[in-house]
């Protein structure tokens, strides 16, 4: 079996705990307006590689990753479920920490084949980095071209399976940098019991060059970058709403 791989980063430090071997899968159904990897969108391109080929660089430097592990990202890794399962099965045989960075948009409880694959994948998964782009469904459709309903359902599914998640959210001036949406995200987060961390990232426009190279118009041409201070303030708003909702239910806050 071979997967379509965009690229591999040998020293990831923000993609899960410890130093990570980060595998970028090719293919993504989402078209997020601020995506900085548009070159990963098209499925069926990139290098076709076996699990052995993908992990060769990881296993040859295994001591370097003892405190970390392997993270799959993209693109959307769950577009290649069979290959992803085989990859994680190989890693778990050696006790390696596994992490999926996903938008969750492919989750479909009505698709029997997908759910069978998911039931194989989740026991092999130690952590999910779940990107919630926008908590409001209508705004999410405008921002990504897709509803967020399956994404929020995926978060609840991970909660039911007791899979730890780190929630990620990008604050974009004029799109997601609003108190009501940030507080809504915090309230939703409080309904989950498996959230271990919250990452709020400032939007940046460094991906513009990729769009130019691919001949794709950049959707946020007039949008300024968000500042670190704005991202920090947004995170505080989310956490305040989260803690308020958790305490109202008599539960203790968890994530840092």
pLDDT(254) > 70:
no
Helices 228-248 and 179-190: crossing angle, nearest 10°?
Answer: 40
Residue 10 and residue 21 in contact, taking contact as beta carbons nearer than 8 Å? yes
156-184 pLDDT tens trace: 999 999 999 999 999 999 999 999 999 99
Q: Is residue 253 part of a domain?
A: no
Q: Which two tokens stand for residue 84?
A: 């992803």
Q: Which residues pair with 166 in a beta bridge?
A: 129, 197
* Token couple for 61: 């430097």
| Alpha-carbon dihedral sign for residues 236, 160, 124, 27 | negative
Does 130 map to a domain?
yes
Counted domains in the chain? 1
Given a cut of 60, whether residue 89 has pLDDT beyond it is yes
Average pLDDT over residues 86-97: 98
Q: Is there a domain that residue 256 lies in?
A: no
- Flag whether 254 is in a domain: no
What is the average per-residue pLDDT within 113-123?
98
User: pTM for this one?
Assistant: 0.93
21 φ, ψ (degrees, to nearest 5): -95, 115
pLDDT digits (tens, 9 = 90+) for 186-217: 999 999 999 999 999 999 998 899 999 999 99
- Give domain status of residue 70, yes or no: yes
Start-to-end Cα distance in the chain? 39
Closest by CA to 237, choosing from 166, 176, 172, 179, is 179
When pLDDT is cut at 50, 70 and 90, the band that residue 248 belongs to is confident
* Sequence-separated (6 or more) residues with CB below 8 Å from residue 184: 135, 136, 241
Backbone angles phi, psi at 201, to 5 degrees: -110, 140
Question: Does the residue 244 lie in any domain?
Answer: yes
- Virtual CA dihedral for 133, 139, 143, 148, nearest 10 degrees? 50
| 19-33, 77-91, 156-170, 241-255: least confidently modelled range | 241-255
Instruction: Kindly report the CATH number assigned to the domain that includes residue 80.
Output: 3.20.20.70
Helices 112-121 and 81-93 pack at an angle, to 10 degrees, of 20
> Contact 164/98 with Cβ under 8 angstroms?
no
Burial of 222 per CB tally in 10 Å (0-12, 13-18, 19+) = exposed
Q: What is the pLDDT of residue 207?
A: 86
Give me 245's structure tokens. Answer: 């909702």
* Alpha carbons 222 and 234: distance in angstroms, whole number: 21
Q: What is the pLDDT of residue 99?
A: 98
Angle at 154 between CA 144 and CA 91, to 5 degrees: 105
- Determine the structural domain holding residue 17 and report its residue range: 2-248
Q: Residue 49 has what pLDDT?
A: 98
Contact assessment for residue 117 and residue 153, using Cβ atoms and an 8 Å cutoff: no
Query: Is 225 a member of any domain?
Result: yes
Residue 14 DSSP SS3:
coil
């Amino acid at each position: 079996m071979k997967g379509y791989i965009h690229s591999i980063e040998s020293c990831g430090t923000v993609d899960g705990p410890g130093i990570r071997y980060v595998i970028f899968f090719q293919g993504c159904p989402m078209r997020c307006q601020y995506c900085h990897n548009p070159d990963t969108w098209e499925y069926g391109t990139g290098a076709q590689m076996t699990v052995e080929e993908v992990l060769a660089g990881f296993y040859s430097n295994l001591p370097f990753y003892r405190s970390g592990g392997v993270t799959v990202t993209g693109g959307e890794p769950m577009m290649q479920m069979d290959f992803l399962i085989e990859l994680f099965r190989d890693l778990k045989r050696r006790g390696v920490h596994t992490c999926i960075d996903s938008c969750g948009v492919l989750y479909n409880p009505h698709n029997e084949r997908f759910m069978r694959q998911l039931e194989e994948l989740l026991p092999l998964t130690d952590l999910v980095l779940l990107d919630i782009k926008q908590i409001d469904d209508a705004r999410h459709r405008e921002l990504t071209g897709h509803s967020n309903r399956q994404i929020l359902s995926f978060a609840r599914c991970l909660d039911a399976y007791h899979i730890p998640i780190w929630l990620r959210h990008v604050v974009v001036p004029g799109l997601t940098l609003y108190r009501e949406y940030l507080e809504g995200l915090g309230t939703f987060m409080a309904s989950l019991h498996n959230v271990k961390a919250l990452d709020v990232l400032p939007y940046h426009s460094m991906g513009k060059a990729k769009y130019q190279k691919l001949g794709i118009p950049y959707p946020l041409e007039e949008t300024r970058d968000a500042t670190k201070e704005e991202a920090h303030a947004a995170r505080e708003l989310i956490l305040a709403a989260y803690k308020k909702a958790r305490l109202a239910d008599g539960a203790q806050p968890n994530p840092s």
